[in-house]
Structure 1
Amino acid sequence: MDEQHIVESLRPVLHPKFKKSLVDLGLIRNVSIQDGIVSLTLALKSDTSPLKNILMGEIKKVVGALPEVSSVLVKVVALSKEESARLFPKAPLKGIEKVKHFLAVASGKGGVGKTTIAVNVALALVEKGYKVGLLDADVYGPSVPLMLDIREAVDQENNMIIPIDKYGMRIMSLGMTAGQNDAFIWRGPLVTKILHQMLDQVKWGELDYLVIDLPPGTGDPSITIAKALPKCSILMITTPQEVALADVRRSISLFNKTGHSIVGLVENMSYFLCGHTEQPIEIFGKGGGKRLSEEANIPLIGTIPLDLALGQGGDSGVPLMVSAPHSTTGVVFQEIAKNIAVRQQ
């Protein structure tokens, strides 16, 4: 009886989840035998894993049945994060397997026009010839269906949700699965689950860009997207006033901590042209986006004016990048899309 004999005896013991041998997975370690006492280490994702007692029982049963073995001592240790990631890699999310680039539109502040910008930036990318999807990840107040005048519910095919095609892009929102006036009451675990479903179980197909409209704040939706899409780029939205900048700084801090690339900053509601003068009227202050850009070392890739057509487009379901793509504001969106594409090559 030697250590190798003991290891071989444990080869038939399988990990219940992965249906692979504990030995082949490298989870059996430090096997020794002395005076009939076998000692070994069992490595698991956590030393408090619910599999702990089950696997310890199987190991003791198998090894204890060997001749010359009087007792079995099993020590359970936790795998390091690196070992866990190598041994048990996460399965890719099926729905987004063919998506080349991910762009999350974020802001720590509500009411800055983030969804309006997400919709029109997505359409500006379509205008440039890219295959684009738009995911409304605001699980609390999904407004993309209203802005695009989508009234029909999504269908399913082979257990996959089929996004709605409109204006040359594929669109998915929680607002397409229930009445637009229904309240969505989600708590942490459910938020994570529903967002994973919208990535994994939606048939996005081949896309150059999946634009994701995040809700305000730095809570569960933003954290879930950050963890699920480590290569996702972030487009930050602000308005000029300091109260907006303070919240955007918190959002920037979150994505800096998660290691995500912030592709640029857009200042919305920068100024207003009243028609009686060529001088822009800076209703919400001046230079806030530029200051934040310099402070956070993030390029300011667009300043969007207060444009009545932009708001009317959201209300009518015909966005500005559909009704007037070559207007002054439309050209700004085209420049933003160009900057994003250049930075993601």
Structure 2
Amino acid sequence: MSDAVLTRENILKVLDQFLDPELGRSVVNLDQVQDIKIAPGRVTIQLGLTTFCAPLWDELAQEVRDLVRKNLDSAVEVEVKISEFPRAAEKLGQIGLKAKYVVAVGSGKGGVGKSTVAAVLALGLTRAGCKVGLMDADVYGPSIPHLLGTEERPTLYEGKIVPIVVHGMRVMSMGFIVPREEAVIWRGPMLHQAVQQFLRDTDWEDLDYLIVDMPPGTGDVALSLSQLLPVSGAVVVCTPQELALLDAVKAIAMFRKVNIELLGIVENMSYFVCPNCGTRHDIFSSGGAKKKAQELKVPFLGEIPLNMAIRVRGDEGKLVDCFEDPVLQPCLSALCKNLVRQIVEKRRASPPLPSLSIL
């Protein structure tokens, strides 16, 4: 095609096909196309996107480039500049939490690295530019404070709990309130009340994602969360061996029973690569979670290797440093991107309905 087709009007018609990753509607209709510059053989598009999809900005820019070349001029050079398009989160459910998406991270049993994966997801999304909160709902065994290396105590301001800010994300845990050596001995109603207070009375501000570290098993917390607010989706963590997969299947069944959509399965401690000889060892078997995900028609989000650096940095409260590790960084970043990719695909396939205010 000739450069004559490269008009602002034609480019806008093409961009009308590009759906906003958060709302699943045309970026043209949402006024997110901020500028278009046309020069001989070159088009520059300034596009506004929310931080909700920040981990995928590079991929989304490529999607726009491909769209313009395919529909207008395959030879044209297309530059896509993405800047933040502010859009506040709406309140979720009766609890009034302002978050665009709530991700519950669970497992059918303990000891599979669920809290580590929850913290990794929260850290990875924050580092990519998302506004993230991390809630430790594992009241009986809160691990998040230790993994993040903080022992601060939350304060109160104007009747709200001020969460601890760690590495740019807002964090709340029973571990900030109860001394490390003391046990929490509560029955179901008290557990429900604690979860409710963490959600309702904490000043989470305006979040893209609230990551909830669930306790292991299929008990009260999942029921409480499903009753208190619309949890958007769940991630199930397991290790590759058959015994762990049996419990992971139960966790998947639990989330489905309370109508929480499955975003995917993560296989933790997937394999071990010897640092001396480079040989791969499948200590707990390998690929079991991916196979089970296919059987249950659940997305597979990725593998995390059995790596000493995760254990050492977790014990030191420096889990965030794993994102600087040349071995771990690619798989951890891919895990976060795969999670957001699943969410964006679902949003685009079934856009959330706009809220209507009743006067």
Q: Same fold (TM over 0.5)?
A: yes
Measure, in 1, the Cα distance between the counterparts of 2:305 and 2:231.
31
Give the structure 1 partner of residue 43 of structure 2: none
Report if aligned partners of 1:163, 1:172 keep a CA contact under 8 Å in 2. yes
Report if aligned partners of 1:154, 1:176 keep a CA contact under 8 Å in 2. yes
Counterpart mapping for 1:1-345 below 5 A:
92-94=94-96, 96=97, 98-319=98-319, 321-325=320-324, 327-345=326-344
One-letter amino acid of the counterpart of residue 164, structure 1: I
Measure, in 2, the Cα distance between the counterparts of 1:91 and 1:229.
5
Shift of the alpha carbon at 1:143? 1.2
1:154-204, CA deviations, whole angstroms, 9 ceiling, x for partnerless residues? 101111100001111000001111211110011011111110110000000
Measure, in 2, the Cα distance between the counterparts of 1:265 and 1:306.
17
Measure, in 2, the Cα distance between the counterparts of 1:308 and 1:205.
36
Measure, in 2, the Cα distance between the counterparts of 1:311 and 1:225.
30
One-letter amino acid of the counterpart of residue 249, structure 1: V
One-letter amino acid of the counterpart of residue 151, structure 1: E
TM-score of the superposition, structure 1-length normalised?
Answer: 0.71
Measure, in 2, the Cα distance between the counterparts of 1:220 and 1:256.
15
TM-score of the superposition, structure 2-length normalised?
Answer: 0.68
Measure, in 2, the Cα distance between the counterparts of 1:272 and 1:260.
33
Report if aligned partners of 1:167, 1:322 keep a CA contact under 8 Å in 2. no
Report if aligned partners of 2:235, 2:265 keep a CA contact under 8 Å in 1. yes
Report if aligned partners of 2:104, 2:231 keep a CA contact under 8 Å in 1. no
Measure, in 1, the Cα distance between the counterparts of 2:178 and 2:286.
41
Give the structure 1 partner of residue 26 of structure 2: none
1:47-81, CA deviations, whole angstroms, 9 ceiling, x for partnerless residues? xxxxxxxxxxxxxxxxxxxxxxxxxxxxxxxxxxx
One-letter amino acid of the counterpart of residue 239, structure 2: T
SS in 1 for 2:336: helix
- RMSD between superposed Cα atoms in Å: 1.5
SS in 2 for 1:112: coil
Shift of the alpha carbon at 1:292? 0.9
Report if aligned partners of 1:137, 1:212 keep a CA contact under 8 Å in 2. yes
Measure, in 2, the Cα distance between the counterparts of 1:272 and 1:290.
17
One-letter amino acid of the counterpart of residue 332, structure 2: F
Shift of the alpha carbon at 1:211? 0.5
Report if aligned partners of 1:226, 1:255 keep a CA contact under 8 Å in 2. no
Report if aligned partners of 1:237, 1:267 keep a CA contact under 8 Å in 2. yes
One-letter amino acid of the counterpart of residue 302, structure 2: G
Report if aligned partners of 2:122, 2:132 keep a CA contact under 8 Å in 1. yes
Measure, in 1, the Cα distance between the counterparts of 2:322 and 2:116.
14
> How many residues in Structure 1 have an aligned counterpart in Structure 2?
253
Shift of the alpha carbon at 1:327? 2.2
Measure, in 1, the Cα distance between the counterparts of 2:141 and 2:201.
21
Structure 1: any 5+ residue segments left out of the alignment? 1-89
Shift of the alpha carbon at 1:227? 2.2
Report if aligned partners of 1:147, 1:318 keep a CA contact under 8 Å in 2. yes
